[in-house]
Amino acid sequence: MDLTTDFQELVSQNLDYEFLRNKTLLITGATGMLGRYLTEYFIYLNAEKNLNLRILLIVRNLKKVELLFGNKLNKNIQCLVSELNTPLRTEENINYIIHAASLADPQYYKTNPVDVALPNILGTYYLLELARKKKIEHFLYFSSAEVYGKISNSQLITENTLGTIDPLDIRSCYSESKRMGETLCKSYYEQYQIPVTCLRIFHTYGPTLDYHHDQRVFSEFVKSVIENNQIVMKSTGEAKRAFCYVLDLVSACLTLLSHGLPGEAYNMANDECFVSIKELAQEIIKAFPDRNIRFYKKNRETNSAYIENKVTTYINISTQKLRALGWKPTISIQDGFRRTIDMIEDELAHR
């Protein structure tokens, strides 16, 4: 199994993609989990539907891009080597921007908080400046559920929900900078009429995760299955999350690029896959009954750089605003993690 299986399924959903024909799309974060999957999809879609779509990737490490995408890179895919925290210059005409670059792994919040914050603030600013100069058709900002901060466990989270964030908690380098990124987006819409939409992404996973370095709980579970180890929970496992497979993120992106209202934010989560961490482990085990995997609890090492999210334990999410545009998630937890693990195993076997 490879990504083509997912992409064929996406194409069969009859999503609107004609608006991309003969256009130029700029993507940041193409080597990250979400950005890579998106880039792979647009490369596939471009070839499959002959869209004549030009894709411009803002990258820091050209060799890493070449390693990940290999012979898929062609004349329709250009790489601009640049730091996001500096002004961006290109002669390309740009129609759409997806700002997916971000250090979302909590292991960096403690060790590299400045590096976490700047792409969400300065990076967003320089991209919005580029969008203003190029008079783009739509700007999609990848925000996060972390912007909601601390809220009541039973409270329904809509796009108008307001929570509190402690600016002196080092973990806030991510959540506060994502908030500031949204505020910049709204400001550029109000002052310069830049058509910008914010996608508030809840827990999303997929086969393009950084297998060797990602320390998020779902990544640790995936590695345990692939390496035939028991699944280790480094918490009580009671915290609940809505886990969304990355294929459903792509359909949300297409929906917002074509129909999203400028100046607005949209929650994106698979609220039908709302489970505790313990239940997530159980679902993954059920997806691979022949591997004889079990799970147990073990305290996280005290010297670990990982910072656990203590903001909210249980969350109740509304995705009605995005669903009203026609979006809906389609992939269950067992199916999503089965795909994730099968594809990673296939990629590892061919290295």
Query: Going residue by residue through the chain (351 aa), what tens digit of pLDDT does each one get?
Result: 799 999 999 999 989 999 999 999 999 999 999 999 999 999 999 999 999 999 999 999 999 999 899 888 888 999 999 999 999 999 999 999 999 999 988 889 999 999 999 999 999 999 999 999 999 999 999 999 999 999 877 788 999 998 999 999 999 999 999 999 999 999 999 999 999 999 999 999 999 999 998 989 999 999 999 999 999 888 888 888 899 999 999 999 999 999 999 999 999 999 889 999 999 999 999 999 999 898 887 775 655 554 555 545 446 899 999 999 999 999 999 999 999 999 999 999 987
Whole-number pLDDT of residue 314: 46
User: What one-letter code names the amino acid at 127?
Assistant: L
Output b/e per residue, 182-192; b: 16+ Cβ within 10 A.
Answer: bebbbebbeee
Under DSSP, is residue 266 helix (H, G, I), strand (E, B) or coil?
strand
Query: What are 67-122's pLDDT values in tens digits?
Result: 899 888 888 999 999 999 999 999 999 999 999 999 988 889 999 999 999 999 99
Question: Domains, the chain, ranges and CATH?
Answer: 3-209+243-271+319-331 (3.40.50.720)
What torsion, rounded to 10 degrees, do the Cα atoms 210, 213, 218, 221 define? Answer: 110
| DSSP type of residue 137 | S
Whole-number pLDDT of residue 196: 99
Query: What are 110-165's pLDDT values in tens digits?
Result: 999 999 999 999 999 999 999 999 999 999 999 999 999 998 777 889 999 989 99
Whole-number pLDDT of residue 329: 97
Output b/e per residue, 123-157; b: 16+ Cβ within 10 A.
Answer: bbbbbbebbeebebebbbbbbbbbbbbebeeeeeb
pTM (predicted TM-score): 0.93
Contact partners, residue 47, CB within 8 Å, separation at least 6: none
Residue with tokens 């026609």: 326
